[in-house]
Structure 1
Amino acid sequence: MLIYNYLSIIMTLAGMLVFVSKRKHLLIMLLSLEFIVISIFFNMYIYLGSMGYEYFFLMIYLTMSVCEGALGLSVLVSMIRAHGNDYVASFSALW
């Protein structure tokens, strides 16, 4: 069981590393954020399963993460339509 905890921590840190290192493209940033969300979900699933709690909170967490992903994709689509690419530096409203 301890190896699953280490695996979820490594997955979270790897997602954060990709998020920090690939900050030029919005699509890669969104994908790394989704990877972090999934690794945190995995960590909460292990924790709640080992403590014998219900999994109802995980359904709320998944619902919120799906909403976050849909909002990120809508921002990506509107940015590509307005500017033609997904470079964050070309999006002048952020700077």
Structure 2
Amino acid sequence: MLTFSWFYSLILLIIILMIFIKFNKHILLILMSLEFFVIMMFYVLFMYFSMLNVNQFVSLYYLIFSVNESVMGLTIMIIIMRSEGNDYLSSLSVLKW
């Protein structure tokens, strides 16, 4: 049962990485795929710690940092949308920063 769950979690991680690579036109799609990747990594981390019978406070710290990361990503996306007018990655340039 445990290997079955590990197998599906690894398959989902690979699918999420493929979605991240394929849909890179909008910043919002990139942020959504990154958040799904964070949730799947939390699931894998939680399963790993529960399998080892270790204290699971590390996964709580992981969730705290992932929430901070998502808030920073949404803030940057809002700043870009207000300055550029859209959330296309093609409209961004390194020279503008």
Partner of 2:16: 15
Which structure 1 residue ranges, 4+ long, deviate > 2 Å from structure 2? none
Length, aligned pairs only: 95
- 5 Å matches for 1:1-95? 1-93=2-94
Cα distance in 2, alignment partners of residues 80 and 91 from structure 1: 11
Cα distance in 1, alignment partners of residues 12 and 76 from structure 2: 26
Gaps of 5+ in 1: none
Deviations 1:33-58 (A, max 9, x none): 01111111100111111110011000
> 1:72 is aligned with what amino acid?
G
Question: Cα RMSD between the aligned structures?
Answer: 1.3
* TM-score, with length taken from structure 2: 0.92
* TM-score, with length taken from structure 1: 0.94
Of all paired residues, the percent bearing the same amino acid is 33
Structure 1 residue 20 displacement after superposition: 0.3
Cα distance in 2, alignment partners of residues 2 and 41 from structure 1: 17
